[in-house]
């Protein structure tokens, strides 16, 4: 005998749960990351692993000689890029002159591309050196390039403790990669 309720959505009031003050923004594109679990991040360096993947899989937008540019998996804003040396080291003073020059040059190109494809009004640039300074992956240097818009400081992060990210990472990667100049 078939269940007459099968396939029927239950009304929300019939489901168990505890309401709270948080908004829910459903972000199914992050499922792959969640399914991977925290272990890969703890034990493997994501910035060493990314260049071995395809551009799409590694969220890479450009590859240089000593450094490359990828999308941040945890963007503060749509188009949040990271400029990373290929070499695994933690702090800026360990970079070779070649790495310093290329990280700087890629940062400049990233700004121009974001201004063109994302029409941003400003940028936050920076490197967090060490875990105490807020580096998520402290062992591998990375420069943040965060595009800002006059309208992006909305009320979401303050009242809802959440960030609205209107574009999927794959789409953002594609538009930044398409806008990157061919050398």
For the chain, state the CA radius of gyration. Answer: 20
Q: For 27-42, give one letter per residue: b (16+ CB within 10 A) or e.
A: eeeeeeeeeeeeeeee
**Given 29, 88, 112, 161, the residue binding Zn ion (CB under 5 A):** 88
- Compute how many residues bind Zn ion; rule: CB under 5 A: 5
Is 140 assigned a catalytic role?
no
Outline where DSSP puts E strands in 37-173: 60-63, 67-71, 81-85, 122-126, 143-148
Part in contact with Zn ion (CB under 5 A); list of ranges 18-26, 47-55, 77-85, 174-182: 47-55
**Nearer to Zn ion among residue 140 and residue 147 (C-beta):** 140
Q: Least separation, in Å, of the C-beta of 177 and Zn ion?
A: 22
Per CB under 5 A, contacts with Zn ion among 137-166 are 140
Question: Beta-carbon neighbour count of residue 87 at 10 Å?
Answer: 15
Q: Least separation, in Å, of the C-beta of 88 and Zn ion?
A: 3
Q: Does 49 bind Zn ion (CB under 5 A)?
A: no
**Given 25, 32, 34, 45, the residue binding Zn ion (CB under 5 A):** 45
> Could you give phi then psi for residue 147, rounded to 5 degrees?
-70, 145
Q: Are 61 and 169 in contact (CB under 8 A)?
A: no
Choosing from 43, 80, 88, 142, the catalytic residue is 142
* Residues acting as catalytic residues: 142
Which residues lie near Zn ion (CB under 5 A)? 45, 47-48, 88, 140
């Amino acid at each position: 005998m078939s269940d007459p309720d099968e396939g029927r959505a239950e009304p929300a009031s019939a489901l168990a749960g505890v309401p709270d003050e948080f908004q829910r923004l459903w972000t199914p594109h992050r499922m792959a990351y969640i399914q991977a679990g925290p272990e890969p991040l703890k034990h493997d360096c994501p910035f060493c692993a990314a260049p071995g993947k395809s551009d799409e899989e590694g969220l890479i937008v450009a590859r240089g000689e000593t450094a490359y540019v990828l999308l941040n998996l945890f963007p503060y804003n749509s188009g949040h890029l990271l400029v990373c040396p290929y070499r695994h080291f933690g702090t800026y003073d360990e970079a070779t002159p070649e790495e310093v020059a290329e990280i700087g040059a890629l940062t400049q190109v990233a700004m121009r591309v974001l201004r063109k494809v994302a029409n941003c009004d400003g940028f936050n640039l920076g490197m967090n050196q060490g875990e105490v300074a807020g580096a998520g992956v402290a062992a591998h240097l990375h420069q943040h390039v965060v595009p800002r818009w006059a309208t992006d400081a909305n009320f979401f992060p303050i009242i809802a403790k959440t960030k609205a990210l209107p574009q999927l990472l794959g789409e953002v990667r594609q538009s930044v990669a398409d806008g990157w100049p061919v050398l």
